[in-house]
Structure 1
Amino acid sequence: MKTISLPNRNKGFTLIELLVAMTITVILLGVLVYMTGISMDTYRNSRDEVRASRQAKEALSTISKDFESMISRRDGNNYEWLYAGQESGNQGPTGNEIPNTSRLIFFTGATDRYNGDIGGTNDEGGDVSAVSYRLVFRDQIGDTEDDRFAVFSLYRHLVDPDEAFDYLAVTDLDSTFDSTNDLASENFLVENIYEFTVTFVIEVTVPSTSGASVTHTVRASMKPGALTEFRIKGSALDYTGTLQVPSGSGLSEDQIKSGRVVGVDIAMTVLTDVGLTLSKRLGSTAWEKERGKHMHHFSKSISVPRS
């Protein structure tokens, strides 16, 4: 009787086949993990940029509206209409303080005075408000400067016309302005603002040797190495520090002080949430190297009413 051999249906993969399959699987998984990592990084970066953009847009929009309706009178009076200075004390995590913290106080025809109820039951009359801006590093909930919970916060304190009237005839806004409620929760504007730089654009018109008038543009920046204080008074401008004077203009200090502020440039740097965490954990040297990866820069030029 003839025997027929059937194929062995239980035959498995050889060792080489298994190794090849495993190698291909590992490669595919590696590519998948790599692509997923890139996608997640892109998502996080996009999310951080969008959030930073929203923070900056909110801050710049609000500041712009206040400056665009800024009120000052350069008619020879001795009163002060704007004060700008550096925030006192070191703001920021120990060793990684904010490089620039401008503080502003000025008068404006804010449209959100009386909580936006202009002409309503809350309107106490008047249209000149006082407003202050401060950038500080603090815990908004605990009202402390504890590094563990503190964040960089920009505050806007709007004083309605009925109370701002008391500031309209003072010679020193910085010492007279009641800053008690500057950092109240209702005055919080945005967070993660790491730098806040204000530059005043000044036009100075002087006669030339030919008899015609020549206008020079001088920039007054509130930042380290430049200005520490800037004031608009009814009789003249006043400042402490160094201005950016056009080369060869020959402008004297008295001529600059007689100039007019025609614009304001606002520049701010917004930290990502990761950047905020790193600013608290890293030493100054390490933070100096890393911070550029976690920042977004924004700026805006604003025209102000001529007085």
Structure 2
Amino acid sequence: MKSATSPVSRRGFTLIEVMVSTAIMIVIVLAVVTIASDTFKAYDRAVADLTTQSEARGVLDAMEGDFQSAMIRPDGRCWMEVILPGSAKAPSGAITKANIGDIQSVDQPIIMFFASPPDRPRWAPSTTSPRVALKGDVCAIAYRIGQSSPFDAPGDPIQQVYGVYRTIIDPENTFKEAIPLIMTSTAAAPISPWDYWNGTSGTKRSFANFSSYSPTYVPDTRALIDFNQSTT
């Protein structure tokens, strides 16, 4: 006798079930992507803030060391100066010649003074040996917030880095050019550090290493903090 077997019924997903499951999966994927994107943005902001704080600490340490060794003589002459190029109270040269060297001016403040920084240039730049030590320890120092390119002068706007720049003139050139210029200052014809840096009484100084100077005269410029790394 043959036993009759009932056929096994095979039933798949209906179209509505497929659409509902697909919609749920899309919602879950979008939620995961959104959470991951927010997490990465928060991480980037945290890293940028930590980087900025670290660089800011370096700026303050450098400024502290420079100000502690600043040379300010009580002789009535201007040994330290802070100006805002383009402002109404700025020197006349700062209005018409706001671009200093290779740093583009966006009416950014400049502080100029004389000090004996521990990281001052100590050797004359030369390809010959033995090296020649620079005499003296007083250097002309300038801080400026501005835009500059690390590749050329001043570089395309997309290459320019907006940050704090610190420029040091070696002690020998400071003694030969900057200090004698300040010493000629009188009440009738005042001379300030701006006259030295802007070149009112001579050659305009540059704020970058890639300026076209002779091998024996290269200002040392360092970007202490890069504001472009900060994100909002």
Change (3 A) 1:115 1:6: farther
Partner residue of 2:209? 184
The answer as to 2:139 corresponding to 1:103 is no
Paired with 2:54 and 2:79, the residues of 1 have a C-alpha distance of 30
Change (3 A) 1:4 1:116: farther
Paired with 1:116 and 1:31, the residues of 2 have a C-alpha distance of 60
* Structure with the higher fraction of residues in strand conformation: 1
Q: Is the 8 A contact 1:52 1:271 kept in 2?
A: no
Unaligned 5+ runs, structure 1: 92-96, 193-269, 275-293, 295-307
- Aligned 1:199-218 pairs, distance under 5 A: none
Q: Is the 8 A contact 1:114 1:122 kept in 2?
A: no
Paired with 1:65 and 1:149, the residues of 2 have a C-alpha distance of 30
Partner residue of 1:14? 14
SS at match of 1:43: helix
- Aligned 1:89-100 pairs, distance under 5 A: 98=106
The answer as to 2:137 corresponding to 1:130 is no
Deviations along 1:148-184, one digit per CA (max 9) or x if unpaired, are: 4333243322123222224332422221346423233
Paired with 2:133 and 2:158, the residues of 1 have a C-alpha distance of 41
The answer as to 2:78 corresponding to 1:80 is yes
Question: What is the CA RMSD across the aligned residues, in angstroms?
Answer: 3.1
Q: Is the 8 A contact 1:84 1:103 kept in 2?
A: yes
Query: For this pair of structures, how many residues does the alignment match?
Result: 187
Paired with 1:101 and 1:110, the residues of 2 have a C-alpha distance of 24
| CA displacement at 1:32 relative to structure 2 | 0.9
Paired with 1:116 and 1:39, the residues of 2 have a C-alpha distance of 49
Change (3 A) 1:138 1:15: same
| CA displacement at 1:42 relative to structure 2 | 1.2
| CA displacement at 1:108 relative to structure 2 | 0.9
Partner residue of 1:207? none
Paired with 2:76 and 2:26, the residues of 1 have a C-alpha distance of 79
| CA displacement at 1:36 relative to structure 2 | 1.2
Paired with 1:15 and 1:105, the residues of 2 have a C-alpha distance of 76
Change (3 A) 1:188 1:35: same
Paired with 2:132 and 2:73, the residues of 1 have a C-alpha distance of 28
Q: 2:195 is matched with which residue: 149, 159, 175?
A: 175
SS at match of 1:190: strand
Partner residue of 1:149? 159
| % identical aligned pairs | 19
Paired with 1:104 and 1:18, the residues of 2 have a C-alpha distance of 69
Letter in 1 for 2:4: T
| CA displacement at 1:101 relative to structure 2 | 1.5
Paired with 2:138 and 2:224, the residues of 1 have a C-alpha distance of 24
Partner residue of 1:221? none
| CA displacement at 1:106 relative to structure 2 | 0.8
Q: Is the 8 A contact 2:52 2:230 kept in 1?
A: no
Paired with 2:228 and 2:52, the residues of 1 have a C-alpha distance of 7
Change (3 A) 1:176 1:24: closer
Letter in 2 for 1:157: T
Deviations along 1:107-140, one digit per CA (max 9) or x if unpaired, are: 11211123489xx964333232221122332334
- Aligned 1:29-40 pairs, distance under 5 A: 29-40=29-40
Q: Is the 8 A contact 2:112 2:141 kept in 1?
A: yes
Q: Is the 8 A contact 2:163 2:228 kept in 1?
A: no
Unaligned 5+ runs, structure 2: 86-93, 100-104, 125-129, 186-190, 211-219
Paired with 2:206 and 2:23, the residues of 1 have a C-alpha distance of 66
Q: Is the 8 A contact 2:52 2:225 kept in 1?
A: no
Larger Rg: 2
SS at match of 1:113: coil
Paired with 1:271 and 1:15, the residues of 2 have a C-alpha distance of 52
